[in-house]
Amino acid sequence: MFARKFGDGDVDLRVLQEQVDAGSPSWNIYEALGRIYKRGGDYVAAQQTWLSYPDFNTGDGRVSVGDSQNADFAASQFFWIGQHELALPLLYIAAESGTGSSGSMASAQRLALIAGDLELARGWAAERVRRYQSKHGARDLMELLHVTGESTRAWTLFEQMHVSWREPEIWSSALVGHRLESASTGSIAEWIAESTFLDDSDSGARRSGGAMDLAPRYLLLAGQMDRTPSPDFPALVSDAYSRPGSQRRPQNDPKFVAGNPDLEKAKAAYADTGFEHVYPRLAAAMSAFLNGDYERAHNAFLNAASYRDLGEYTSYYAISAAELGREEHVAAALGVRFSEYQERLRNERVGGEGLGEFFDDYLAFAVLAAFDGQHDEALRYLKLALNDRPFLGRRTIYPMYQLVDVADRLFEETGAQE
């Protein structure tokens, strides 16, 4: 029996705990219970649950390949939210397993990073690439080359790897390189224009989850982080596309566009931009938002929502709406989505909630609570977002950066020290 994502959470917790206390041999039980504890912010209970898994306690320190992967997964749940002390015992289980699994290597790399041994971490990242063609290992290798003073090698590897890997992780290394060079958004746009990047239609490249326009996606990500965009930012993102028509058919975000009284005005405001793709539309929204033009940002976010799920931009849309006193529709839309999730998943038993499934909604709820003066409630949602942190994947904003950015904006708005 697995934990439900919603519904009788207390019952699920009790049933899972009883099975763990009875020494269940199924890792799925431990994983599900640990995720429930972690999502609720009880990190120690989550760690103790995972460490109590019988196959981690054989007495001789040896675990199977599968269990080394399980230990690495559990450790990563703490590592990626900065709870390194809690991650250490699980990292050691995976790293010292002797299995040579990808998880054992990833854990060894993380142990080196925690210890500050960047050269050793780089070596493990390289081994992950050599043994398992790991895109995450490739990302880490190039980033570590940059920060250890070997940017020339890092850029050489990037030029090779972006051809064979159509993955956003590969491009994260470019951001490290460009930040070290203090590259402006304009100079990054020039770099993209002067380079030859694969079209999504090129069949020889590895990719996951379908087509993706990685060059304009990267420019959007780089141009909105830690900087205030210039007026030409949306046009730069638009120009970064390697060919016309590469954006997939628009599919709107119904929870925000359905019944929204501002939708037609938003569409009219951007009817003359000529932007064919959604990334320039998002760039227009963020450019207005980061320059404090919330009316224009609100319209631009709604316009973008006619083309794709707002996803990682939900919290910024919520801030724009709240600044204008229009948060009522945002709250209603988020409430509808949560109700739909509850109905869809009420009878669905799974091994723990999907990682990052509610991150964006939690941030948006934190915004609405903060603007309503409910500081404790806002803090609760921020903590829920932290504990449901997604990986970067196809997102165009780094999750941890966004969490801190939203929290900082809420502090500036409310003055609440929490």
C-alpha closest to that of 46 among 4, 16, 69: 16
Lowest mean pLDDT among 60-64, 167-171, 207-211: 207-211
pLDDT tens digits along 91-144: 999 999 989 999 999 999 999 999 999 999 999 999 999 999 999 999 999 999
pLDDT of residue 344: 52
Query: Of 83, 98, 116, which residue constitutes the final position of a domain?
Result: 116
Is the model's pLDDT at 15 over the cut of 50? yes
For residue 56, is it within any domain?
Answer: yes
Query: Of 89, 116, 143, which residue constitutes the final position of a domain?
Result: 116
For residue 323, is it within any domain?
Answer: yes
For residue 195, is it within any domain?
Answer: no
pLDDT of residue 304: 86
- Residues pairing with 207 in the sheet: 166
Query: What is the average per-residue pLDDT within 33-57?
Result: 95
Query: Of 97, 116, 135, which residue constitutes the final position of a domain?
Result: 116
Distance between CA 175 and CA 223 in Å, rounded?
Answer: 10
Is the model's pLDDT at 14 over the cut of 70? yes
For residue 263, is it within any domain?
Answer: no
For residue 381, is it within any domain?
Answer: yes
Distance between CA 273 and CA 235 in Å, rounded?
Answer: 9
Identify the CATH number of the domain in which residue 84 sits.
1.25.40
For residue 337, is it within any domain?
Answer: yes
Please say whether the beta carbons of 290 and 229 come within 8 A: yes
Q: How, if at all, do strands 206-207 and 165-166 pair? A: parallel
Other residues' Cβ atoms within 10 Å of the Cβ of residue 89: 16
pLDDT tens digits along 295-328: 999 999 988 887 788 899 999 999 999 999 998 8
Lowest mean pLDDT among 13-22, 69-78, 334-343: 334-343
In this structure, which amino acid lies at residue 327? E
* DSSP structural state of residue 390: P
The tokens for 34 are 């640990």
Lowest mean pLDDT among 163-172, 236-245, 377-386, 395-404: 236-245
C-alpha closest to that of 137 among 150, 148, 151, 124: 124
Q: CA neighbours within 13 Å on the CB side: how many for 85?
A: 2
Structural domain count, the chain: 2
Please say whether the beta carbons of 365 and 17 come within 8 A: no
Q: What is the DSSP string of 264-279?
A: HHHHHHTTTS---SHH
In this prediction the pTM is 0.87
The tokens for 256 are 């925000």
Distance between CA 91 and CA 97 in Å, rounded?
Answer: 10
- Residues pairing with 206 in the sheet: 165
144 to 58, 112, 152, 172, 362: CA distances (angstroms): 35, 12, 12, 11, 32
Instruction: Provide the sign of the torsion angle of the four alpha carbons 167, 173, 79, 366, taken in this order.
Output: negative
Phi, psi of 5, deg, nearest 5 = -70, -35
For residue 365, is it within any domain?
Answer: yes
In this structure, which amino acid lies at residue 308? R
Look-up of token digits 């120690």? 44
Phi, psi of 141, deg, nearest 5 = -60, -50
Buried b (16+ CB within 10 A) or exposed e, 367-396: bbbbbeebbeebbbbbbbbbbbbbebeebb
Helices of type H across 149-232: 151-164, 168-180, 185-194, 214-223
Look-up of token digits 């020339």? 152
| Structural domain boundaries enclosing 372 | 309-417
For residue 199, is it within any domain?
Answer: no
The tokens for 137 are 């290992």
Query: What is the average per-residue pLDDT within 350-357?
Result: 56
